[in-house]
């Protein structure tokens, strides 16, 4: 991972004029007086999106999705742009970030920090009380962020409708009171987001609410605790408005005649064979799936994901369902997004950390200026590179989590853990520990008291003499036999 920038790229970035000038403001829609704020993770260093809210005289709402205008600073043909393109994405490892852009941009000029004016690229919508779109506008803006919230703070407002943020969830650890205008805006945005989400689900979107594994690290970046991050209303509020901007920008360009080259984020239909495999496994837990039509497929997948919530097999089923899905990729050839149930979808909302979003900004501005379509072949090549780099980043992020899990378990060799059998093979069974989602292998030769054989039909190991059965989804108690940091592998023994 290129965790340092070449010296000449740093020098170039540090010499960019990041001041807000009257001359540049004159070329943009000035939205500095509109109530604007950000909602991000508590530990976020860069804020690449903000929401603005305004009640209109006709009773509708003007909602702006404002994204850092990275393409204003990262100009084509510069060494900074070449470097960003090569990296194509930021990589979020457990103990560090490998950024796509130097810090002077990612954490300063392009970060929509509170009480600062920033250049932004915006999608502004007039929504009615039923979250229907009455009007839309895309273009470059200048905005001023009135406040910054952590998801926990926004969640507190949504749950309690209270302006008072208590000590324990306040970003700065000190209780404070939220401006009533912002409280009202968050509550209304939450209401509209829920309507939009419900429409999306009715249209056949698939609801993956898989919890993310996170670590508490000590001063030397060693894992001392494991916890899970789940998506609540505040996360879903931001997600819905980001999806709206991504969808509408891509629809705006995708529906133009004659057609224009654009960067789409596409997601093909799931693989039939993998779905059949999923059906075989989930039937062991009493779940039935119906793959007759596209509608019944999405409906039964959503029902499955809902039914397993809170059960011992939840993580296993979530993981297997995700594996049935095709991989989302970047391309100039639009086939729609299956998982979101959108005919048009792009990435527009995270240009600080994704190069395709920078390209989407450039193309949108180019077309807003009335230009004809640009070269598709050139952009298809860039899409392929972006998809490849995203794949490598995802792999690195997974490896980083696996590494930390093994490191964490090294210090818990004496402990006994309750786990779920998450995979069965002829050489043993995989067990995932419930409390920290660390997965390891119990080898057949380490199971005492009988000789075990693998039964592929039952997804089980069965003892020849005792007929004892270890089956997918069963709970077992395990201890760590071996933790190999180099291979990022855990070996367990039954306790």
What pLDDT was estimated at residue 316? 82
Q: Phi first, then psi: what are they for 126, rounded to 5°? A: -100, 115
Residues 412-494: name the CATH superfamily.
Nucleic acid-binding proteins (2.40.50.140)
What pLDDT was estimated at residue 46? 87
What pLDDT was estimated at residue 325? 92
What pLDDT was estimated at residue 294? 86
Instruction: Please name which of 319, 304, 316, 321 lies closest in space to residue 474, comparing C-alpha atoms.
Output: 316
Give me the percent of the chain exceeding a pLDDT of 90. Answer: 88
Determine the Cα–Cα distance for residues 343 and 363; give it in Å rounded to an integer. 19
Domain residue extents for the chain? 7-267+328-406, 272-324, 412-494
How much is the mean pLDDT over the chain? Answer: 95
pLDDT band of residue 37 (cuts 50, 70, 90) is very high
Q: State yes or no: pLDDT of 295 exceeds 90.
A: no
Q: Which residues, 6+ apart, have CB-to-CB distance to 306 below 8 Å? A: 207
Q: Which residues, 6+ apart, have CB-to-CB distance to 371 below 8 Å? A: none
pLDDT tens digits along 84-98: 999 999 999 999 999
What pLDDT was estimated at residue 453? 96
What pLDDT was estimated at residue 237? 98
pLDDT tens digits along 131-179: 999 999 999 999 999 999 999 999 999 999 999 999 999 998 899 999 9
Helix residue ranges per DSSP H, 264-418: 272-283, 294-307, 314-324, 355-368, 376-410
User: What global pTM score does this model have?
Assistant: 0.94
**Beta-ladder partners of 29:** 141
Helix residue ranges per DSSP H, 174-254: 180-202, 233-254
pLDDT tens digits along 345-400: 999 999 999 999 999 999 999 999 999 999 999 999 999 999 999 999 999 999 99
Axis crossing angle, helix 355-368 with helix 376-410, rounded to the nearest 10:
150
Give the mean model confidence (pLDDT) for residues 478-490.
Answer: 96
Strands 133-144 and 29-30, sheet pairing: parallel
Give the mean model confidence (pLDDT) for residues 307-326.
Answer: 86
What pLDDT was estimated at residue 189? 98
Determine the Cα–Cα distance for residues 287 and 186; give it in Å rounded to an integer. 38
What pLDDT was estimated at residue 208? 83
Q: Could you count the other beta carbons within 10 Å of the beta carbon of residue 418?
A: 14
Q: Could you count the other beta carbons within 10 Å of the beta carbon of residue 372?
A: 9
Instruction: Please name which of 361, 343, 344, 342 lies closest in space to residue 352, comparing C-alpha atoms.
Output: 361
Instruction: Please name which of 122, 12, 29 lies closest in space to residue 74, comparing C-alpha atoms.
Output: 12
Determine the Cα–Cα distance for residues 90 and 352; give it in Å rounded to an integer. 8
Chain centre distance of CA 352: 14
Count how many residues are written for the chain: 495
Cis check: omega of the bond before 258, within 30 degrees of 0: yes
Are 443 and 425 within 8 A, CB to CB? no
Q: State yes or no: pLDDT of 209 exceeds 80.
A: no
Determine the Cα–Cα distance for residues 495 and 478; give it in Å rounded to an integer. 5
What pLDDT was estimated at residue 268? 95
Tokens of 60: 């509708």
Are 176 and 170 within 8 A, CB to CB? yes
In 3-state terms, what secondary structure has residue 423? strand
pLDDT tens digits along 177-195: 999 999 999 999 999 999 9
pLDDT tens digits along 3-23: 899 999 999 999 999 999 999
Are 51 and 148 within 8 A, CB to CB? no
pLDDT band of residue 50 (cuts 50, 70, 90) is very high
Q: State yes or no: pLDDT of 212 exceeds 90.
A: no
Which region among 113-117, 320-324, 362-366, 404-408 has the lowest average model confidence (pLDDT)?
Answer: 320-324
């Amino acid at each position: 991972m290129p965790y340092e920038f070449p010296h000449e790229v740093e020098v170039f970035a540090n010499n960019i004029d990041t001041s807000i000038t009257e001359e540049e403001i004159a070329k943009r829609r000035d939205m500095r007086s509109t109530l604007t704020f950000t909602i991000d993770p508590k530990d976020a260093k860069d804020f690449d999106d903000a929401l603005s809210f305004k009640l209109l005289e006709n009773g509708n709402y003007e909602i702006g999705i404002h994204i850092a205008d990275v393409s204003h600073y990262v100009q084509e043909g510069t060494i900074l742009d070449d470097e960003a393109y090569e990296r194509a994405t930021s990589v979020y490892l457990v103990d560090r970030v490998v950024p796509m852009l130097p810090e002077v941009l990612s954490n300063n000029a392009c970060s929509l920090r509170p009480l600062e004016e920033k250049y932004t690229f915006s999608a502004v919508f007039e929504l009615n009380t039923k979250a229907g779109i009455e009007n839309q506008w895309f273009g470059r803006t200048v905005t001023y962020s009135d406040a910054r919230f952590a998801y926990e703070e926004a969640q507190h407002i949504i749950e309690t409708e209270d302006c008072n943020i208590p000590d324990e969830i306040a970003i700065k650890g000190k209780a404070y009171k939220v401006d009533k205008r912002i409280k009202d805006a968050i509550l209304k945005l939450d209401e509209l987001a829920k309507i939009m989400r419900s429409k999306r689900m009715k249209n056949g979107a698939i609801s993956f609410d898989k919890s993310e594994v996170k670590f508490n690290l000590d001063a030397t970046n060693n894992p001392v605790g494991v916890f899970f991050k789940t998506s609540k209303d505040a996360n879903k509020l931001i997600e819905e408005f980001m999806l709206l901007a991504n969808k509408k920008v891509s629809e705006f360009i995708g529906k133009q005649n004659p057609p224009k080259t654009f960067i789409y984020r596409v997601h093909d239909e799931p693989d039939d064979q993998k779905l059949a495999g999923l059906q075989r496994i989930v039937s062991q837990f009493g779940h039935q799936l119906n793959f007759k039509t596209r509608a019944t497929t999405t409906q039964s997948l959503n029902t499955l994901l809902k039914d397993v919530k809170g059960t011992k097999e939840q993580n296993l089923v979530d993981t297997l369902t995700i594996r049935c899905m095709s991989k989302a990729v970047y391309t100039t050839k639009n086939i729609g997004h299956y998982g979101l149930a959108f005919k048009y979808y792009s990435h527009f909302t995270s240009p600080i950390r994704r190069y395709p979003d920078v390209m989407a900004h450039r193309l949108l501005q180019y077309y807003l200026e009335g230009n004809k379509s640009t070269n598709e072949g050139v952009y298809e090549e860039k899409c392929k590179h972006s998809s490849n780099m995203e794949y490598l980043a995802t792999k690195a992020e997974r490896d980083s989590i696996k590494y930390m899990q093994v490191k964490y378990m090294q210090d818990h060799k004496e402990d006994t853990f309750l786990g779920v059998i998450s995979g069965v093979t002829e050489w043993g069974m995989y067990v995932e520990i419930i409390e920290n989602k660390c997965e390891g292998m119990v080898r057949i030769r380490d199971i005492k008291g009988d000789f075990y054989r693998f039964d592929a039909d039952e997804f089980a190991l069965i003892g020849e003499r005792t007929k004892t059965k270890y089956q997918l989804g069963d709970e077992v108690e395990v201890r760590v036999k071996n933790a190999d940091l180099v291979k990022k592998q855990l070996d367990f023994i039954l306790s």
